Structure 1
């Protein structure tokens, strides 16, 4: 066996004979030449086998290969500007590991439900491979940003005794003889961590028991949630701008091939850099009313409203200062206008909706107790959270970014179900 490499490493071995462990993605033949489309998880490459350059046994072995058969392929790496990866393999030998029989996902068109039922196989396709590769790079960019900015990663619990936002959209379970819920946010715990470490972030799965079937919603999704002590509302927005810009620019730099596979127009992505435009909730309401939307002050925005607002800008846009009554209990009211809070939602362009929600948090213990009463939250369950204001309270802020919506926006993918390896939807818990 020649030197064993991966497809991603092929460019370092031009002119050399190498062996790659692969699966057959597809193939075609022109009689005396077989073109093998190969994949190994790190990329895709074409293997070209010429009949009079290999033994009859090797030729017949290649002819017998079916879609998704596994094999070791040996050949000489050649540079080819026309090839998607820039290289191809002049095949000299194949060693068949397994001949796959009746692979269900053929090159023809399949319905979404069929593909979702076979998600464990669908992720092998070029489009899904590109999507999930970009997801990986976004995750890496998130960690890189916070490491560079000296944040500490803290892991909040997934099983919690209370809700972070006082909602009823929680998955209930029993924790021995107590009630418990799957976390819908790690934010409250991250506030405690921020009082210990200054700047912290969590990154993990969250769960929302909302019976929603929209293209923007998942039952289980991943959130990154930073919290920062001694940071006010204005500083919070600037951090978000630099954070999102870092993610987008990282993808543009490192994922050109994947973006090409997805046929993603990157024109608007290339414009993503600070500062982002901002409008207040009041201004957004007037804008929507002028456009004929039937919405009143004090109502939250739906998906069509967010899309109409985003269409006015070519970058993500902050909508700030929402009414206090429609936002979470922990958000700090504007001292100059208590009926609105020091918060912002970041709306992505092109109809992808909210990707970040954030705010300055209440730091006054008396006001927080009052909000407990207004929201009818049990004092005993939140006593530890109140302690954060009783023992060294400081101005502090944070935000949460939804990973799958961010991946959908950057990749130009319509439905978030394709941006996570195994999506959990309202009527789907398989595979």
Structure 2
């Protein structure tokens, strides 16, 4: 009886005959031999059809196959060191499911807009497949990290009555008879969850109505937002170091083939472990000014500034102790310098910018009320958040990691649009 297999599992069937459901990725012929490049979602394998070894109808069926036609293929698995997968299929049978006509993405070069218009097909390519597999591995590594450290996964709402950070860059919708917004962060709700469960994290979509077209920005993206009760700023930084190192080392271990497809220089990732360098905001300003950047104390950093700092290190770097005026209302002031807050941005190497933002949160009720007044925040909308300080307030800290920027960095991509299956960009809502 012929065993049903996937391409990924053929290693368990060497010398045996298997049946695989697949698509034709590409094909070439040398007269009396056809070489079928087959894919099934789990991997790629070459199927070799020898005219003299198969019935005429099998040879003819193989000749009919066009790019992305679907089929059942039957063949004997054999090892082949020259093959990327390490195996090859000696084809004995071809059963056509569907013949594709005029597949739009051909081996020739296509422009980015064309490929994005056909994103639903583009993700079938080896490169895009590799990126999405690495994304999935990163997600598994994230969940493993928190599960092993007794964090609880909590799902915050996607529809919210107010902003998490006081910004106006929100998507407004009608919630029956009142206004609501698509979430830009689950953090405030995670603070509430941490008061109930101790250590929590959320993992879900967030939305920013920011009219930006840079290579680092998406309109819809996924955030991982841990929150930890009884944890202060320094301890949170240690968790962040361990977290990012775990993600990178897991991908290096489990996705070597995919990183090779992407031609990623993995030597730049192998060093991502141990303590990460730190630089204060004050020292970062001096660093930039000494290198000719026109920036003053109190300014926020743009991509060129982050890149200049990152290039000075071979690991992610923390920029700590930022001015309170340019950070979110909920960040705890530095007791020694109240004009600064106990926060840090983690900047990825190789020009990939901020991948984590985090801070210790204000736990003093009176100070939080002052911040509400300074930022003109509605006490009605945030009363529940104030209750967290009113009923058993404790020191607590948290951070948020952007999944797509992390994928872009680890994969070595030029733009975040390739890091998510169906990106939402400033002028793109299709497909």
Q: Identify the TM-score tier after normalising by the shorter chain.
A: over 0.9
In 2, Cα distance between the equivalents of 1:185 and 1:102? 43
Look up the SS of the partner of 1:340 in the other structure.
strand
In 2, Cα distance between the equivalents of 1:289 and 1:55? 75
In 2, Cα distance between the equivalents of 1:212 and 1:162? 22
Render the CA deviation track for 1:206-253: whole Å, top value 9, x for unaligned: 000000000000000000000000000000000000000110001000
In 2, Cα distance between the equivalents of 1:135 and 1:153? 19
| Structure 2 match to 1:323 | 323
CA offset at residue 80 of structure 1? 1.0
In 1, Cα distance between the equivalents of 2:244 and 2:52? 54
| Structure 2 match to 1:58 | 58
CA offset at residue 274 of structure 1? 1.6
CA offset at residue 49 of structure 1? 1.0
Would you say 1:160 and 2:160 are equivalent positions? yes
In 2, Cα distance between the equivalents of 1:165 and 1:308? 27
State the aligned residue count: 431
Look up the SS of the partner of 2:83 in the other structure.
coil
Would you say 1:19 and 2:22 are equivalent positions? no
In 2, Cα distance between the equivalents of 1:69 and 1:267? 38
In 1, Cα distance between the equivalents of 2:85 and 2:238? 38
Matched ranges for 1:361-380 at <5 A: 361-380=361-380
In 2, Cα distance between the equivalents of 1:189 and 1:371? 18
In 2, Cα distance between the equivalents of 1:344 and 1:274? 18
What residue ranges of structure 1 are gaps of 5+ in the alignment?
none
Look up the SS of the partner of 2:144 in the other structure.
helix
Matched ranges for 1:32-181 at <5 A: 32-181=32-181
| Structure 2 match to 1:30 | 30
RMSD of Structure 2 on Structure 1 (CA)? 0.6
CA offset at residue 81 of structure 1? 1.3
CA offset at residue 355 of structure 1? 0.3
What residue ranges of structure 2 are gaps of 5+ in the alignment?
none
Q: Which segments of structure 1 move beyond 2 Å, counting only runs of 4 or more?
A: none
In 2, Cα distance between the equivalents of 1:312 and 1:250? 25
| Structure 1 match to 2:223 | 223
CA offset at residue 82 of structure 1? 1.3
- TM-score, normalising length: structure 1: 1.00
- TM-score, normalising length: structure 2: 1.00
CA offset at residue 331 of structure 1? 0.3
CA offset at residue 2 of structure 1? 1.6
In 2, Cα distance between the equivalents of 1:47 and 1:296? 62
In 1, Cα distance between the equivalents of 2:120 and 2:77? 31
Would you say 1:184 and 2:162 are equivalent positions? no
